[in-house]
């Protein structure tokens, strides 16, 4: 009996617990967990805001935040504490996000094709654009609704895009199929450039993209109200704003791919995939509109 006791470890010789350790919540004060959380939220205000919204809405499987369920596997340790929580929810997967982007794109193309081929009044098209704008804001500020709102947005937006495409096509026949082909090509090119590490996304790049997107939205809204920009009328205006649309859309795509990658590493649940796909789809729509402008300006 004494020989067995001599083989037991001396618990008094264990190192002191880590800073912030709590028996009630042993993971909360863990230095590696804190470092991972800070790494996800580090950087500019834009990065912090995006991840805060996603974490608050969906939580993270790794930390069990935001009401995400966790299954804790217990194992004796030096302090009598269980192992860190293991997520029991399906995590976000980048390939699944891209698949959902494809679904939204096909919905928009189908609705746009009907709007392109059959007569649609200006009132119906304008109403579809306004409704799509409202649905977009709803999905942005209530991410958990993106699962329902994103397909509806793609359907309604597709009606408006079909009408706009028809207007461009009447001015220059054949540019719509070319714009669709170029949109797909640029999307794949941006994805390859990101995946291969050819373009690395920094926090400053993310902030620049968000500021540029906001500025372009302001200019677009001003143009809808009939407030033109001096010196940018006719073909020159189409070309300049078309290039701006394309550049900002490509920047947004890089940012969206980066945020999806960070979300996957952070353990964000699969419920966020529709929200991420919706964000990427918005950039695809902007890219398509910019290419339509460039092609029309080039034909002129």
Between 235 and 238, residue with greater pLDDT: 238
User: H/E/C letters for each residue in the chain?
Assistant: CHHHHHHCCCHHHCCCCCCCCCCCCCCCCCHHHHHHHHHHHCCCHHHHHHHHHHHHHHCCCCCCHHHCCEECCCCCCCCCCCCCCEECCCECCHHHHHHHHHHHHHHHHHHHHHHHHCCCCHHHHHHHHHHHHHHHHHHHHCHHHHHHHHHHHHHHHHHHHHHHHHHHHHHCCCHHHHHHHHHHHHHHHHHHHHHCCCCCCCHHHHHHHHHHHHHHHHHHHHHHCCCCCCCCCHHHHHHHHHHHHHHHHHHHHHHHHHHHHHHHHHCCEHHHHHHHHHHHHHHHHHHHHHHHHHHHHHHC
CB 182 within 8 A of CB 246: no
Q: Say yes or no to pLDDT of 52 above 70.
A: no
pLDDT confidence of residue 25: 46
Mean pLDDT of 73-98: 62
Residue range 3-37, pLDDT digits in tens: 545 555 454 555 555 554 444 444 444 444 444 44
> What does the pLDDT average to over 23-52?
46
pLDDT at 83 over 50: no
pLDDT, tens digit, for every residue of 133-150? Answer: 999 999 988 999 999 999
Q: Considering the chain, what is the average pLDDT of its residues?
A: 76
Query: What pTM does this model have?
Result: 0.72
Residue 286, pLDDT > 60, answer yes
Mean pLDDT along residues 53-71: 53
Tokens linked to 96: 């699944």
Give residue limits of the domains in the chain.
94-299
Lowest mean pLDDT among 65-69, 249-253, 269-273: 65-69
For residues 252-268, give the mean pLDDT: 88
Q: What value does the mean pLDDT take over residues 225-243?
A: 65
Among 57-66, 172-181, 243-252, whose mean pLDDT is lowest?
Answer: 57-66
Looking at residue 232, what is its pLDDT? 53
Instruction: Decide which of 239 and 153 is more confident.
Output: 153
């Amino acid at each position: 009996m004494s020989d067995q006791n001599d083989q037991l470890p001396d618990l008094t010789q264990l190192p002191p617990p880590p800073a912030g350790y709590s028996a009630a919540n042993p993971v909360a004060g863990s230095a590696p967990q804190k470092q991972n959380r800070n790494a996800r939220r580090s950087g500019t205000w834009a990065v912090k805001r995006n991840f805060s919204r996603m974490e608050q809405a969906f939580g993270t499987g790794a930390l069990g935040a935001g009401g995400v369920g966790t299954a804790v596997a217990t194992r004796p340790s030096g302090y009598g504490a269980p192992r860190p929580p293991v997520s029991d929810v399906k995590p976000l997967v980048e390939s699944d996000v891209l698949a959902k982007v494809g679904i939204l794109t096909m919905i928009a193309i189908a609705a746009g094709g009907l709007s392109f081929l059959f007569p649609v009044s200006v009132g119906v098209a304008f109403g579809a654009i306004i409704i799509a704008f409202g649905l977009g804001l709803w999905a942005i500020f209530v991410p958990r609704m993106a699962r329902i709102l994103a397909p509806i947005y793609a359907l309604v937006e597709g009606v408006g895009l079909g009408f706009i495409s028809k207007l461009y096509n009447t001015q220059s026949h054949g540019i719509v199929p070319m714009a669709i082909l170029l949109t797909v090509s640029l999307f794949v090119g941006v994805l390859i450039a990101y995946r291969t590490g050819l373009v690395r996304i920094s926090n400053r790049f993310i902030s620049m993209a968000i500021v540029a997107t906001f500025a372009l939205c302001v200019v677009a809204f001003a143009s809808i109200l009939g407030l033109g920009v001096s010196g940018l009328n006719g073909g020159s205006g189409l070309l300049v704003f078309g290039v701006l649309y394309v550049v900002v859309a490509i920047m947004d795509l890089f940012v969206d791919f980066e945020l999806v990658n960070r979300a996957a590493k952070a353990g964000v649940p699969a419920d966020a995939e529709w929200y991420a796909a919706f964000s990427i789809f918005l950039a695809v729509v902007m890219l398509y509109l910019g290419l339509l402008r460039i092609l029309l300006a080039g034909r002129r």
